[in-house]
Every structure is written in C-alpha cells, then in structure tokens.
Amino acid sequence: MKKHVKANVSWIGYMDWELKKFHGDEYSVDVGSSQNAYLIQEEKTVLMDTVWTPHKDEWLNNLKSEIDLNDIDYIVINHGECDHTGSLPLLMKEIPNTPIYCSALAVKSLEGQYGKQGWDFHVVKTGDTLDIGNGKELIFVEMKMLHWPDSMATYLTKDNILFSMDAFGQHFACGELFNDLADQDLLWNQALKYFVNILHPFKALIGPKLKEIENLNIPIDMIAPSHGVIWRDNPNQIIEAYAKWADPNYQEDQITIVYDTMWNGTEKLAHAIADEIFNQSPKTRVKVMSVAHEDKNDIMTEVFKSKAIAVGSPTCVNDVLTSVAGWLAFLRSLKFKNKKAAGFGCYGWSGESVKIIEEELKRAGFEVVDANVRSNWNPEQEDLDKVPALVSALLGEVQEGADEEEITGNAPGKRVYRCSICGWTYSEEKGDQANGIAPGTLWEDLPEDFKCPICKQPKNVFNEVE
C-alpha cells in the first residue's frame, strides 16, 4: 500500500514494526523503524530508493500492485547501503534498462555489493537537475559522510520536498507517517539517539552542509528522510535541532557516570560520585548507567548531552572489564569533544584499571582531570574522601584545546595522518598514488589545497596518529 505524501508524491516503503537491532547488533531499535522509499508520478515517474533485502519480495509485490514497473522512468538512489538498496537487484531484473541516478561513489558502492550488472548509471553532483515534467525538476545535493561517502539528498521543486536520506531520520516506526501525528516524546528521543549514534562522528560537516543547502535558496515545505517520520509540520525545527546538536560547544548541565562492577565496590564509588555531584551542584542532572545493564546507544546519548563523565571499572586480569573495554572503544569512535572525564575503580592486587580508563578517555578526545579514585578492595572512608576533589574537577571549565589529539612525534617520512571526519589516513611512506602523490611525500609538502579524497575536507581536519 502506498501512502499519499503531497501532490503526486507517495510513500512506498516498508514499516518494520518488529525490528530490534540495526547495523548488525550495533544499534538498538526501541520502537521499530521504517525504510522509506518514495514514488513521484509526474509526466515522468521516479522511484526514490528501495528497502532492505529481507523485505524485497513483499516490497516489490506491493510496488507492482500500485504501478506497472515499466512506467518507472527513473530510479534515484540517494545512498548505497543495503537498507535502502537491498531490493534494487530484484527490481532491476524486471526493468534492467531503467536509468539510475546516484553519486559517483554510490556507483562504486552498488557495484561492490551487487556486482557489475551493467546497470545504466547516471552520475550526479550538487546542483545537477533532472526534469520530470509538469514544470518540476529534481535537484541533487551531495551529502558526503552524512553518513556515508556516497550519500546525497534530492530536492523536488514546486512541491518543495527535500528527500534527505539518513539526515534528519530516526529509527521509529510511525504508521501515521508525519511528525505532527507522532508521539512527540518518542519522536525527539529517537531523533537525538539517531543523531548521536550514527551522525555524530561527522558532525563537523553538518553545519557547513546546512549552510550549503541554505545557499541554494530553496524553500523547504517537507523533509522526507529514509527512516522514520516525514517532517511536514515546521520542518525547520529538525534543521534547527541539527544545527544546535552539531555546535561543537553543545552540552547540557549534566554529568553521566558509566561503570561496571564485579563485587559492587566500583558500583559504590559510582553512587558516591553521584551523591557528591548533588552536594556540590544541586541543579546538575546526574545519570548513573551500568554498561552491563543499560543499552550502549542510550548511554552514548546521555554522554552527548553531558559536560563531563566519570567512567569506572574494577581491575580484572591487569585490565578493565571487557564490558567497559568495548564501551570505551565505541566511545572513541563517536569523536566527542569539549568534555571533561575522570576514572575510578576498585582493585584487589595490581590496580591498573583507572590508568587504562584515563588513557582511553584521552584517546577518545576527553579532557581527563587529575583527580581519580582507586580503591583497594572495597571503598573505605579514605577512598570516599577523594570523591569531592574528583567531582569538583569535573564541574570545572574545559581547558581550551583539550580535545586536540596528541601529536606522536614520529620521524618525517614515517608519519601517518588521519582525517578526523571520515577516518581516511595518509601515510607519508606510501603517499597517495591514486591521486598523484608519490610515496615519501611529507605532509607539509602536500599542496595547501589538498583535500581528503573521501570526504573532501581540507588539511586542517587531519591529526597525526601513531
């Protein structure tokens, strides 16, 4: 069944009510999700994206019930990931000569996933247009690294709909389809969770991309993302929310305490820290979250909102608990900045956990305070007496430049630089021969207009890494 969106535009996606996990097991889905595909029926008929592979047969049968497939003039693929293209191979068996409009990197993505099928690709870039009749056209806008290098958005003139792909989306199954009909608490909770866990590593690109869209001088009456609700009531509200969340200085008056425990000693320290935050700053919101019992994506959403965090683990086999180790790796991948952090934990014998936590927090971009709490066996009063200093340090101001990655000091010619936006690395030893840079070319000898070949960001977003 298709659902009317506006004028000659319909939703023809899949409502995934039972979905519980996404990106493997990396993302928890609380209230289902949707894979949004759209049908535009003007003088030319356009299919905008498809749905995930497990639903391909049901989706294609539904599409056939609504339209003769041979009436589809164009297919637009805004992003190559299989939750949006998984049904494309089955569809193309039916209409193999239908032209596909997508970015250059989407061609690479689609052929990488589904093989070279001889499909009729038409590569587009920002500002390119496609006339679909009745005085309307599609305008394409590249959205690199939001959240894949191949991502783009498509704008429909006259109806003023921005098909935004993953940007502005949520994993939220909303049968009512539109934001004004949705449960508002669920909607905004899921919108923030999606932003933090999927788009946050690339948030430095969001502000410039919003400005680029603004400079196109296109009125936006609706935003139709690839997951979740369609923003038809004041669509600017989600744009404003993204601009606020993407601000590098965004944080709330909140401290989140994240920990795991073996015999409850580290848990006692977590509770003591929470109590002391209230003593020193009663208006500061406090969250205490166990990585063993709380959802990791929900924890990260709270970390995003926080101005500081405290992370605790007992020492286990000269290390932190594996639950905490995995969580710290995830924390590093989200690239939080301008936040303070502290470590705490109990130990019986060797006591390495707090030092390991502090090192990992520094690697993750946090300003780690000097104060910590290390308790031998169970917390005694002398351990608890260290808690006020830790809390006081967390409540202080973040030092300017605390988020900068440590320079390794490797010898020239052996250095490696990583793009802080997309993660692509440049090795001086290997060069970048695909882009004409010879092996052995030093970083400082690269042209000043050098840009990351993946996300097209300039040299100043790169950091030297080990």
Give the residue numbers annotated as catalytic, written as ranges.
23, 79, 81, 83, 147, 166, 194, 227
- What's the burial of 438, exposed, middle or buried (CB within 10 Å: 0-12/13-18/19+)? exposed
- Spatial distance between the Cα atoms of 298 and 284, rounded to a whole number of angstroms: 19
392 token code pair = 């006081």
Rounded CA-CA distance 276/274 in Å is 5
Contacts of 413 (CB under 8 A, 6+ apart): 428, 429, 440, 442
For residues 216 and 184, the answer to whether their CB atoms sit within 8 Å is no
45 Cβ neighbours under 8 A, 6+ residues apart: 39, 67, 71, 72, 73, 74
Beta-bridged to residue 344, according to DSSP, are: 312, 373
| Helix, strand, coil abundance in the chain, percent, nearest 5 | 35, 25, 40
Alpha-carbon dihedral angle through residues 341, 347, 353, 357, given to the nearest 10 degrees:
-10
Contact 313, 257 (CB under 8 A): no
CA distance 213 to 210: 5
